[in-house]
Structure 1
Amino acid sequence: MSQQFRSLAPSADPNVVRTALAGAVAMAVAMGLGRFFYTPVLPAMMADLGLGPAEAGWIASANYVGYLLGAILAAYGWAEGIERKVALASLVATAALLLAMGLSSDVAVLAAIRFLAGLASAFAMIFTTAIVLSHGLVSGKSWVQATHFGGVGAGIAISAIMFGLLVLADGGWRMAWIAAAALAFAGLAVVMRHLPQDVARSGPAKKEPPLVWTGPLLGLTVAYGIFGFGYIVTATFLVAIVRDGGGSSLFEAGVWLVTGLAAAPSVAYWLPAVRRLGLVNVFALGCLVEALGVAASVLVPLPAGPVIGGLLLGATFIMVTAFGLQAGRQLAGDSPRRALALMTAAFGTGQIIGPVVAGYLADWTGTYTWASLAAAAALLASGAIALAFCRTRPGAT
């Protein structure tokens, strides 16, 4: 537990359930919709707008450039005491930018929209997480983190169902973005009502001290950045892999639904492993499992390959993200938010590189196989680096 929360009374937040649910909805909007809705809509956009994998990769990477910038900006402490205002403004921007995606056809404009959406999602993720997890720590409720991050998978699953219904209704990709914006505005109303007013603190808002870099923290940050590269290739192109293999639009939605359903409870069902093995060991194990899924998505024929890929991606990517950040908080001393922001920046750097490399490899080879195998190799490297630099004892949470 971070030092900054140890002295707080356990009664500081009597409405912890509402807080956790508000966090889950915020993550569903910012991440499940704002970040990942691009994946199921991408094949239809590529077909209608004549986009190749490289152009699709550049649009995806623009989102991750915005995410990286947001993470870096969040590390400077300017939002101390106004976290809620920044988080809500970011969710408003997310919903508006989802709507804007349905109104444009120009690659440069689409990339600009996705850049701004990445900036908004980074702010929303970092500042809602700071609020929600602080109240969870104060209340001593470990399930708050699982509920909060589970919102990402819930958002993916809900958006997959919505996309499948639009496919049945011949709604088209533009209508899909507009419907996603409507869902986001509805989620925003819930968050505005139930998100706490501030981070739970033992005293007045104050800036954290500069982050002290140690070998384990540096190693974990490097591993986290490589993980960003490894996971994002499949997270961006999974549905396009289905389309490339001849799968139907409904099967595309189904694969994305499997991903979301596996992701929603993933933090919760990995918690027993954390208690037995420790955070870093589970981080590395998750990278291994995800690498198997990424490889299966292109090496195992339809329908099994993408389903296995989606299932193992969903079962791991949120929990690896969450437990990686939690391990970083433990290693950060009195500067947990700076560590969270800078690790997110490393993660964002990997995400920027991933879709561009994957897009050009797909254009060059005519298949997503080599891009996915490169991603699987990166995931294995991430786990190995984490184990080498950050050995932890079982039960360390």
Structure 2
Amino acid sequence: MSRPDRSFVPLAFGGLLSLAAAMGIGRFVYTPILPFMQDGLQLPADDAGLIASANFLGYLTGALAGAARSLPGNPRHWFLGGLLVSALTSLAMALTTALAAFLVLRFVSGIASAFVLVFSTTLILERLNAAGRGDLSALHFAGVGCGIAFSAILVAGVASYSADWRLLWIASGIATLLFFAAAARLVPAPTDRSSSTQIDTRKAETRTNFLTSSLLRLIAAYGLFGFGYVITATFVSAIARSEPALQSSEPFVWLTVGLFAAPSILFWNKVSARTGGRKAFALACVLESCGVALTVVSAEPFLFLLGSALLGGTFMGITALGLIEGRRQASSGGPAAERQMLAILTAAFGLGQVIGPWLAGKLHAVTGSFEAPSLVAAAALLVAAALVVRE
């Protein structure tokens, strides 16, 4: 038996660094930094939720633009440009205290992170699959979890020197710049100008009759999942700081999410191979619902960290399972239907992400805690599971 070609490992590792920087840091570092912003700026929870929603709205905008529109150039230019913008917007967060500026910066950062995800994945997975090393895609997608874990360590380390929220954003921007430089070396420019190196600008015939009742339920479930995971993913560190019994666990909460997220796609792919995509999706939603609920129903640090582990171990897996299942069921409509389905799922997911933090902030302003919005999110995840458990 021939040995697998290891020359593509650096390419996959470059993808890991790209997603770690743009998603794990650029998109999700707001979660561990938020408690410091709340202390330093007296930032109310409803404003904090609005800032998070602005980022997710930017992500939705960028994902749809990257997936559904023809853009000039090649994927490498777009994903490296997205990494650079992600770094600059993180650095710029330290230069203002105005809510409007925070909203604009996080919106632009969301667009940048989506571009990195869409275009780095397009470029890297195409090269890996063409070389027969599709197995390395798990290394690429592990970047999100690795980035979350790294951002937790970075924030905790810098904060240990009594740094305020501004220095935390600066450190995040500098780290992203370093990851950008490494990714630029590990993901080289194409060696030819074949169609695989260019963004496809051909307009394919679209078909809309592939939307069966099964797919409609999947779309609804995917939107509920976006809503259900994002409230805890945004406010889990703030919850830890607000509860005296949980404050000792704050430095470890986001790290736990990241460590369990890193291998989760590989794990859930194996579960899906045994049970089928929809049953794996439903099971992951049920486990995530338990995790979301555990972060607010008890002040016991172990249960709080267990809830964080369940969140980390499921949210990236559900993200991938939903897209894979949607693409599979839409395949009868041809490539155009598959792309349309991915865009619809992205829109549903993005809408749920936008609504979640905004609603959580509003409910916190009324109730004084994140218990109510978190339990609503847990219920939404159970509904999502019920929607997809059968064909």
- TM-score normalised by length of structure 2: 0.90
Whether the aligned pair in 2 keeps the contact of 1:90 and 1:120 (CA below 8 Å) is yes
Distance 1:68 1:56 in 2: 19
Number of the residue aligned with 1:219: 217
Shift of 1:26: 0.9
1:97 aligns with 2:89: yes
Shift of 1:375: 0.5
Shift of 1:342: 3.2
Whether the aligned pair in 2 keeps the contact of 1:22 and 1:195 (CA below 8 Å) is yes
Distance 1:166 1:142 in 2: 37
Whether the aligned pair in 2 keeps the contact of 1:163 and 1:176 (CA below 8 Å) is yes
Question: Unaligned 5+ residue runs, structure 1?
Answer: 1-12, 392-397
1:327 aligns with 2:329: no
Name the SS of the counterpart of 1:332 in structure 2.
helix
Number of the residue aligned with 2:234: 236
Structure 1 residues 330 and 203, CA gap change in structure 2 (3 angstroms): farther
1:358 aligns with 2:351: no
- The correspondence of residues 37-52 of structure 1 with structure 2, limited to 5 A, is 37-52=29-44
Name the SS of the counterpart of 1:228 in structure 2.
helix
1:114 aligns with 2:111: no
Whether the aligned pair in 1 keeps the contact of 2:149 and 2:256 (CA below 8 Å) is yes
- The correspondence of residues 5-16 of structure 1 with structure 2, limited to 5 A, is 15-16=7-8
Whether the aligned pair in 2 keeps the contact of 1:91 and 1:121 (CA below 8 Å) is yes
Amino acid at match of 2:259: L
Number of the residue aligned with 1:305: 303
1:168 aligns with 2:188: no
Distance 2:343 2:185 in 1: 26
Distance 1:136 1:293 in 2: 34
Percent identity between matched residues is: 41
Amino acid at match of 1:122: A
Name the SS of the counterpart of 1:102 in structure 2.
helix
Number of the residue aligned with 1:6: none
**Equivalent residue in structure 2 for 1:210, among 174, 191, 206:** 206
Amino acid at match of 1:214: L
Moved more, 91-100 or 191-200: 191-200
Whether the aligned pair in 2 keeps the contact of 1:131 and 1:196 (CA below 8 Å) is no
Structure 1 residues 21 and 225, CA gap change in structure 2 (3 angstroms): same
Name the SS of the counterpart of 2:71 in structure 1.
coil
Number of the residue aligned with 1:53: 45
Moved more, 51-60 or 239-248: 239-248
Shift of 1:250: 6.0
Whether the aligned pair in 1 keeps the contact of 2:246 and 2:301 (CA below 8 Å) is no
Amino acid at match of 1:238: V
The superposition leaves residues 309-364 of structure 1 with CA deviations (integer Å, 9 ceiling, x where unpaired) of 21101100111111212222223331344433332222111000000111111111
Distance 1:228 1:83 in 2: 26
Aligned positions, number: 377
Distance 1:111 1:64 in 2: 11
Distance 1:137 1:214 in 2: 28
Amino acid at match of 2:218: L
Distance 1:203 1:301 in 2: 52
Whether the aligned pair in 1 keeps the contact of 2:125 and 2:134 (CA below 8 Å) is no
Q: Which has the higher helix share?
A: 2
Number of the residue aligned with 2:269: 271
- TM-score normalised by length of structure 1: 0.89
Whether the aligned pair in 1 keeps the contact of 2:249 and 2:305 (CA below 8 Å) is no
Whether the aligned pair in 1 keeps the contact of 2:264 and 2:317 (CA below 8 Å) is yes
Question: Unaligned 5+ residue runs, structure 2?
Answer: none
Distance 1:96 1:36 in 2: 15
Number of the residue aligned with 2:315: 317
Number of the residue aligned with 1:88: 80
Name the SS of the counterpart of 2:27 in structure 1.
coil
Whether the aligned pair in 1 keeps the contact of 2:245 and 2:299 (CA below 8 Å) is no
Number of the residue aligned with 1:3: none
Distance 1:197 1:326 in 2: 28
Distance 2:273 2:132 in 1: 16
Number of the residue aligned with 2:374: 372
Distance 1:232 1:203 in 2: 34
Whether the aligned pair in 2 keeps the contact of 1:91 and 1:124 (CA below 8 Å) is yes
Name the SS of the counterpart of 2:95 in structure 1.
coil
Whether the aligned pair in 2 keeps the contact of 1:126 and 1:341 (CA below 8 Å) is no
- The correspondence of residues 336-347 of structure 1 with structure 2, limited to 5 A, is 336-347=338-349
